[in-house]
Structure 1
Amino acid sequence: MHTRIIRVGNSQGIVLPKKLLQQYHLSGAVELQPMPEGLLIKPVTSSTRQGWEAQMQAAVAAGQEPAGELLEGFSDGVFEENEWQW
């Protein structure tokens, strides 16, 4: 398959056919990896939230409360009653 490098603003890019994007699950962010043979384009699979569920379950199993001190004073309505002027 052949394509051309085109001007995109002050940069350059290539147009990838929809079929290739679907076949290789490419959308949004992609990872570009230089290779001796050329350029490898891979979908970004890692997420900043990857592993959060397991960490939360481990914390709860260890006796920690979710959110802990972050929500202290908010869940009991004290903040709303004392800080807001109606």
Structure 2
Amino acid sequence: MNTRLIRVGNSQGIVLPKKLLQQYHLAGEVDLRPTPDGLLITPVAAPRRQDWDARFQQALAQGHAPEGELLEGFSDDFENAEWQW
């Protein structure tokens, strides 16, 4: 596939077709690495916690209880024995 360099301010860039962006999951920030054959463009992995809210909402939509399953097995001995009101 051939494309042209275009002027972007004082730099130059290329336009990547939407199909390639989708196929290689390129969005937002990408990593550029020089190789003997040219440039390798790869997606930058999202920080692990970035999608927690979406995953939590998806779990709720699938019927998972936020407290029942997540806190199962945790002891509440401190509140029951040590805490005084």
The TM-score by the shorter chain falls in which range? 0.5 to 0.7
Matches of residues 1-86 of structure 1 in structure 2 within 5 Å? 1-47=1-47, 49=49
Q: Deviations over 1:41-78 (max 9, x none)?
A: 0000152748xxxxxxxxxx9xxxxxxxxxxxxxxxxx
Aligned to 1:20, the other structure's residue is in SS state helix
TM-score, with length taken from structure 1:
0.54
Relative to total residues, which structure has the larger helix share, 1 or 2? 1
- Note the C-alpha offset of 1:35: 0.2
Read off the aligned partner of 1:44 and give its amino acid letter: V
Read off the aligned partner of 1:14 and give its amino acid letter: I
Q: Deviations over 1:10-63 (max 9, x none)?
A: 11000000000000000000000000000000000152748xxxxxxxxxx9xx
Quick one: percent identity of the two aligned structures?
73
Computed over aligned residues only, the root mean square deviation of the Cα atoms, in angstroms, reads: 2.0
Aligned to 1:32, the other structure's residue is in SS state strand
Give the corresponding residue for 2:82. Answer: none
Regions of 4+ moved over 2 Å? none
Residues matched between the structures, number: 52
